[in-house]
């Protein structure tokens, strides 16, 4: 034992000499269990009793350290549990090393709590007195929950198997039916006292009495202690102190800080009484208070306090309760009734050792192991081992109960608000509302799993005949039809208002889901409803005509190989010397090669190919045989500036027309060698069709199944009056002031091929032709053009500039239309109608009123749009000629689609970039001499096999 006055050892390895001393006590051994919290690295809670474990001691969960002081009848049993900070740190490290997953605080806390309850149950059955050590300054209310769990575990588990299992062992005879020594008396030891209050006897006693009252009320309220020792889990003395505050001994203090404090006290001692005679002596001291003695009255004044400090120790506090057990009055002060004799069992050391060994094996060491399950066949004990931790996890049950309530509320809220048929967006919205309803009650760790379960339940409810089809329309609107139920065609429920081909009648159109429905079927349906559409002349665009039933849509490779092939071919041609190439090839082959290279998909429009008339215009801009199909937005401003600059040099917008003799013209047109055969004319596919619209890079020989464009002559030019504009009975839906066409004056100068032709042909001209010869060989062509935009609400308006809506006659200037036709026009523009939603209007029609002159206006529109810069065309080998003195309307496609992808309209247009959604390229109009042998009003003239040339205006 050395300098220490006590023995210490680890259970069950008791030294022989200590066992002999304990045997001499006989049946007067009182076992005191010390359990609770500690913060030191050795997990020591015996410091208040002046005891410490060995230096080489390593704390371990479930380990018992025994202490015995010779001369006393007290055996102190120190329980090392998960409530000790040192052991808790070990468990955290082991858990993080084993799992490797994110730290589960709730699960870890439940495991630590269950292990502590096991140790408390062991102490409850093998100790006469329990001392709960608390490192804090106030009572821990969570301890009441621990006591409740202990009572539940003892009544529901331990008492089901302990009597039967201990019956066959010596411990059963010693412990009796209750399987414990007695109803243990519990004491509370607080290692620290509040620093705010004084450490006098009155203050400490008042704090102890106040804490005792609160603890007694809590334990009585939760039935931890009762008036009957048989039904009470623990016992409290009725008239004795059971709370102790360590107010004088500083436990687990920092040794360095203590040394500094002691040094300071020794160097500066305060004297109670100072005399004037000592002032001279004090001046000689190196500092105040140096070598000053205490007064005589100091000891006499603090004698009672010193005596209180000496007697107020944890050991003396414990021994008062030990004496009650030795004197046999242990039960007399525990309950407010007649004491029940025979409850307290005082055993000798060997008997007690046998009892704790058996109980430790059942409750702690073998609990939860597979060996114990195989060794002990008691069903109740196996249930205890398998479900003990789960049964004590009351917090898990509480959270699960709350989550179950929240789950019901969330599912009910979802089903109550769910319509008959709804889509994914509505499903997500309802799911978010259901989650909010769940969170009103659902809490705790199971909340995430419960939300996942609620999500799966709501998803099954949605998919059980309530799921919307949600097939997106060409305008990005989902189909509202049920997904599981068959439906012939999709329907989004969105209705647009659109005009027919001629623009006279407006009708309601469903949101289109296919290109055919958008660009063809609606307008065919409107033909039956419009009286004018039935009568007008329609230009027949070339479409796909299969030869058998086994036809299919053409397949396109990703990244559009035709586009790259065309660019590579142009790059290779640019590397060659143009002079050397022209010398090697004949003139006819050189011209044909140039035409084929300029457009690999269809016959390019050239003003010189097969021409019987030569026309030019100042500032012509981009010629038709250029190889680049798309134009930048900046090219429009450049073309406009070029046009305005050159027009001042050569008589404003003057076309030079060179007329040839009719005989030569007829001969050239009849000569089969004068026109080289075009490969694109004879390679039209009859097995594959073009799935989208025709564009400049379309595969050669592919045609669409139906026309997406419409060109119709709605009447003579006299039906339009520039004074009144477009009337409602003729063109409905126009906004006020935006129903005028723009006048366009084009000057034409005729140049004859020979004087003989001029003299011989002049007398035979008709009076109608002579009206245009008033100014010699010059004539002025007055054309009316209108770029019509239409929004989904049916509002229609004309534009006077690419960025300005026409506002009546004040916006119509002399050169307004001239600038318009030489400028790129945006495909989409914000509608000026007042609405909360910002509707976009689309360029849908181009109105043309042709002049009364022996010429034909030719239209060749090109729409450039999409990320891949598609340039969509009419798809006709020869652009259509508009008959003279007539009102023509070109209707553009409602939806644009490339080879394999839809080009959706933009959701919103920025004012600085109105061309972002696409644009109509400038220079779509051309002019050609009227052929007297052909009737332009005849529909048969507009045949794609009829070659013609024109000059772009």
- Average of per-residue pLDDT across 526-553: 88
Higher-confidence residue of 13 and 609: namely 13
The model's pLDDT over 874-884, given as tens digits with 9 standing for 90+, comes to 988 888 999 99
Predicted confidence band of residue 752 (pLDDT cuts 50, 70, 90): low
For residue range 824-853, list pLDDT tens digits in order.
999 999 998 866 677 899 999 999 999 988
Residue 599: predicted pLDDT: 33
- Measure the CA–CA gap between 573 and 565, rounded to whole angstroms: 12
Average pLDDT over residues 905-922: 89
Answer with the one of 391, 406, 440 that is the final residue of a domain. 391
Task: Of 496, 412, 421, give the one whose Cα is nearest residue 458.
Answer: 412
**Domains in the chain: how many in total?**
3
Mean pLDDT of 591-607: 33
Say if strands 7-10 and 919-920 run parallel, antiparallel, or are unpaired: unpaired
Same-domain status, 225 and 326:
yes
For the ranges 244-248, 594-598, 823-827, which has the lowest average pLDDT? 594-598
Is residue 280, in this structure, part of any structural domain at all?
Answer: no
Q: Please check whether residues 438 and 311 belong to one and the same domain.
A: no
pLDDT score of 691 more than 80: yes
Is 27 contained in some domain? Answer: yes
User: Residue 301 above 70 pLDDT?
Assistant: no
Same domain, 784 and 900: yes
In a domain, 187, yes or no: yes
Confidence of residue 226 (pLDDT cuts 50, 70, 90): confident
Burial, 600: exposed, middle or buried (Cβ in 10 Å; 0-12, 13-18, 19+)?
Answer: buried
CA pair distance 852, 885, nearest whole angstrom: 5
pLDDT tens digit sequence for 719-728: 999 888 999 9
The answer to whether residue 224 scores a pLDDT higher than 80 is yes
Contact at 8 Å (CB) between 334 and 344? no
Is residue 630 within 8 Å of residue 708, measured between CB atoms? no
Mean pLDDT value across residues 337-353: 74
Q: Give the model confidence (pLDDT) of 67-99 as tens digits.
A: 999 989 999 999 999 999 999 999 998 888 776
- pLDDT score recorded for residue 131: 96
pLDDT of residue 773: 42
Residues 793-820: tens digit of each pLDDT: 899 999 999 989 998 877 787 777 888 8
- Strands 902-903 and 896-897 turn out to be antiparallel
For residues 153-175, average pLDDT: 86
pLDDT score for 616: 30
Same domain, 861 and 938: yes
Question: pLDDT grade, residue 741 (50/70/90)?
Answer: very high
Same domain membership, residue 412 and residue 355: no
SS3 941: helix
* Average pLDDT estimate for 219-239: 87
649: pLDDT strictly greater than 70? no
Domain boundary among 425, 445, 467: 467
Mean pLDDT of the chain: 77
Of the pLDDT bands very low, low, confident and very high (cuts 50, 70, 90), residue 873 is very high
For residue 369, what are the contacts with CB-CB under 8 A and spacing of at least 6? none
Whether 429 and 459 share a structural domain: yes
- The per-residue pLDDT for 356 is 92
Residue 391: what pLDDT? 86
How much is the average pLDDT of 746-750?
A: 77
Domain with 433 in it: 395-467
Residue 634 token pair: 């900046």
Which residues, other chains included, contact 359 with Cβ-Cβ below 8 Å and sequence gap of 6+? 122, 125, 126, 171
User: What is the spatial distance between Cα 197 and Cα 777, in angstroms, rounded to a whole number?
Assistant: 121
Please check whether residue 38 lies inside any domain of the structure: yes
Q: Residues near 660 by Cβ (< 8 Å), separated by ≥ 6?
A: 612, 613, 753, 757
User: CB of 877 within 8 A of CB of 603?
Assistant: yes
Same domain, 345 and 456: no
- Residue 535 domain flag: yes
Q: Three-state SS across 569-580?
A: HHHHHHHCCHHH
Lowest pLDDT segment from 80-94, 159-173, 359-373, 444-458: 359-373
Q: How far apart are CA 466 and CA 483, in angstroms?
A: 8
Nearest to 107 by CA among 347, 396, 361, 477: 396
Q: What is the pLDDT confidence band of residue 790, given thresholds at 50, 70 and 90?
A: very high
Q: What is the pLDDT of residue 269?
A: 53
Q: Is 122 exposed, middle or buried (0-12, 13-18, 19+ CB in 10 A)?
A: buried
Least confident range from 25-39, 217-231, 581-595, 836-850: namely 581-595
- Report the distance separating Cα 803 and Cα 816, nearest Å: 13
Residue 608 covered by a domain: no
Residue 371 shares a structural domain with residue 308 = yes
Q: Residues, the chain, total? A: 953
Q: Which of residues 692 and 343 earns the better pLDDT score? A: 692
Position 578 in a domain: no
In the prediction, which pLDDT does 296 show?
A: 47
Q: Is the pLDDT of residue 609 over 50?
A: no
C-alpha 839/C-alpha 805 separation (Å) is 15
- Are residues 810 and 933 both part of a single domain? yes
Contacts of 165 (CB under 8 A, 6+ apart): 362, 376, 378, 381
- Give domain status of residue 69, yes or no: yes
* Out of 124-128, 440-444, 656-660, 713-717, least confident range: 656-660
| Residue 216: per-residue pLDDT | 93
pLDDT of residue 759: 44
Residue 690 has pLDDT above 70, yes or no: yes
Residue 372 is predicted with a pLDDT of: 55
Whether residues 418 and 516 share a domain: the answer is no
Query: What digits encode the pLDDT tens for the residues 246-294?
Result: 887 767 666 677 777 777 776 655 554 555 555 666 666 666 655 555 4
The CA-CA-CA angle for residues 247, 253, 255, to 5°, reads 135
Residues 119 and 242 in one domain: yes
Q: Are residues 34 and 150 in the same domain?
A: yes
- Domain boundary (365, 391, 417) is at 391
Most confident of 511-520, 756-765, 901-910: 511-520
Return the ∠ at Cα 9 (arms to 5 and 14), rounded to 5°: 110
């Amino acid at each position: 034992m050395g300098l220490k006055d006590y023995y210490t050892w680890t259970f069950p390895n008791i030294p022989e000499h200590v066992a002999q001393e304990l045997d001499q006590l006989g049946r007067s051994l009182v076992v005191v269990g010390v359990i609770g919290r500690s913060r030191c690295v050795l997990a020591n809670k015996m410091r208040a009793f002046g005891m410490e474990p060995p230096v080489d001691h390593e704390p371990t969960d479930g380990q018992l350290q025994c202490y015995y002081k010779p001369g006393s009848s007290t055996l102190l049993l120190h329980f090392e549990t998960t409530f000790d900070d040192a052991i808790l740190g070990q468990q955290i490290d082991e858990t993080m090393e084993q799992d490797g997953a994110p730290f589960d605080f709730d699960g870890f806390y439940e495991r630590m709590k269950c292990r502590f309850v096991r140790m408390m149950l062991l102490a409850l059955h093998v100790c006469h007195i329990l001392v709960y050590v608390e490192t804090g300054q106030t009572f821990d209310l969570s301890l009441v929950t621990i006591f409740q769990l202990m009572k539940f575990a003892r009544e529901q588990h331990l008492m089901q198997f302990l009597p039967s299992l201990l019956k066959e062992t010596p411990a059963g005879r010693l412990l009796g039916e209750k399987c414990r020594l007695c109803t243990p008396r519990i004491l509370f030891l607080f290692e620290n006292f509040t620093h705010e209050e004084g450490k006098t006897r009155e203050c400490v006693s008042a704090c102890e009495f106040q804490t005792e009252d609160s603890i007694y009320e809590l334990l009585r309220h939760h039935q931890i202690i009762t008036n009957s020792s048989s039904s009470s889990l623990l016992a409290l003395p009725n008239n004795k102190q059971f709370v102790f505050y360590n107010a004088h001994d500083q436990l687990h203090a920092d040794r360095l800080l203590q040394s500094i404090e002691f040094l300071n006290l020794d160097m500066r001692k305060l004297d109670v009484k100072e005399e004037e005679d000592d002032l001279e002596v004090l001046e000689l001291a190196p500092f105040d208070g140096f070598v000053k003695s205490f007064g005589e009255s100091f000891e006499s004044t603090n004698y009672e306090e010193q005596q209180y400090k000496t007697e107020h120790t944890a050991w003396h506090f414990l021994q008062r309760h030990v004496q009650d057990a030795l004197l046999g009055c242990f039960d007399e002060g525990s309950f407010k009734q007649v004491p029940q004799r025979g409850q307290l069992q005082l055993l000798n050391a060997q008997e007690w050792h046998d009892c704790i060994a058996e109980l430790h094996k059942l409750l702690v060491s073998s609990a939860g192991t597979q060996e114990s399950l195989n060794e002990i066949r008691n069903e109740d004990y196996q249930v205890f081992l398998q479900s003990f931790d789960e049964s004590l996890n009351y917090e898990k049950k509480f959270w699960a109960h709350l989550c179950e309530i929240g789950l019901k509320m969330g599912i009910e809220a979802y089903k109550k608000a769910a319509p008959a048929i709804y889509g994914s967006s509505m499903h997500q919205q309802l799911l978010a509302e259901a989650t909010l309803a769940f969170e009103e009650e659902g809490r705790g760790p199971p909340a995430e799993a419960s939300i996942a379960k609620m999500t799966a339940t709501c998803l099954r409810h949605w998919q059980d005949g309530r799921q919307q089809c949600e097939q997106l329309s060409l305008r990005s609107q989902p189909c509202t039809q049920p997904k599981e139920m068959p439906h012939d065609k999709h329907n989004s429920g969105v209705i647009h208002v659109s005009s027919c081909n001629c623009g006279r009648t407006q009708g309601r159109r469903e949101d289109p889901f296919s290109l055919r429905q958008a660009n063809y079927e609606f307008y065919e349906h409107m033909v039956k409803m419009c009286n004018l559409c039935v009568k007008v002349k329609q230009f027949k665009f070339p479409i796909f005509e299969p030869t058998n039933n086994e036809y299919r849509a053409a397949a396109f490779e990703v990244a559009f190989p035709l586009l790259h092939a065309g660019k590579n071919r142009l790059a290779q041609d640019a590397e060659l010397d143009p002079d050397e190439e022209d010398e090697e090839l004949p003139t006819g082959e050189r011209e044909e090669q140039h035409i084929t290279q300029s457009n690999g998909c269809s016959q390019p429009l050239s003003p010189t190919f097969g021409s019987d008339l030569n026309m030019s215009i100042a500032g012509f801009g981009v010629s038709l045989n250029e190889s680049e199909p798309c134009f930048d937005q900046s090219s429009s401003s450049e073309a406009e500036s070029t046009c305005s600059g050159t027009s001042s040099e050569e008589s404003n917008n003057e076309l030079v027309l060179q007329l040839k003799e009719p005989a030569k013209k007829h001969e050239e047109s009849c000569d089969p060698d004068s026109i080289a055969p075009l490969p694109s004319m004879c390679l039209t596919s009859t097995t594959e069709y073009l799935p989208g619209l025709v564009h400049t890079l379309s595969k050669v020989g592919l045609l669409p199944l139906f026309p997406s464009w419409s060109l119709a002559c709605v009447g003579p030019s006299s039906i339009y009056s520039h004074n009144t504009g477009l009337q409602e009975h003729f063109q409905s839906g126009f906004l006020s002031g935006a129903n005028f066409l723009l006048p366009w004056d084009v000057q034409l100068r005729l140049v004859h091929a020979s004087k003989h032709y001029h003299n011989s042909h002049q007398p035979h001209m008709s009076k109608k032709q002579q009206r245009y010869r008033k100014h010699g060989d010059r004539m002025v062509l007055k054309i009316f053009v209108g770029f019509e935009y239409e929004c989904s609400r049916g509002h229609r308006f004309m534009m006077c500039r690419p960025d300005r809506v026409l506002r009546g006659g004040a916006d119509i200037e002399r050169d307004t239309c001239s600038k318009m036709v030489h400028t790129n026009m945006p495909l989409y523009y914000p509608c000026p109608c007042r609405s909360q939603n910002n509707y976009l209007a689309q360029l849908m029609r181009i109105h043309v009123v042709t002049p009364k002159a022996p010429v034909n206006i030719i239209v060749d529109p090109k729409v450039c749009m999409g990320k891949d810069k598609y340039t969509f065309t009419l798809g006709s080998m020869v652009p259509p000629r508009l008959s003279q003195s007539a009102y023509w309307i070109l209707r553009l496609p409602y939806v644009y689609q490339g080879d394999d992808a839809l080009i959706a309209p933009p959701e919103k247009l920025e004012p600085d970039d109105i061309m972002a959604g696409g644009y109509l390229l400038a220079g779509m109009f051309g002019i050609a001499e009227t052929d007297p042998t052909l009737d332009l009003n005849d529909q048969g003239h507009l045949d794609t096999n009829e070659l013609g040339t024109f000059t772009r205006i």
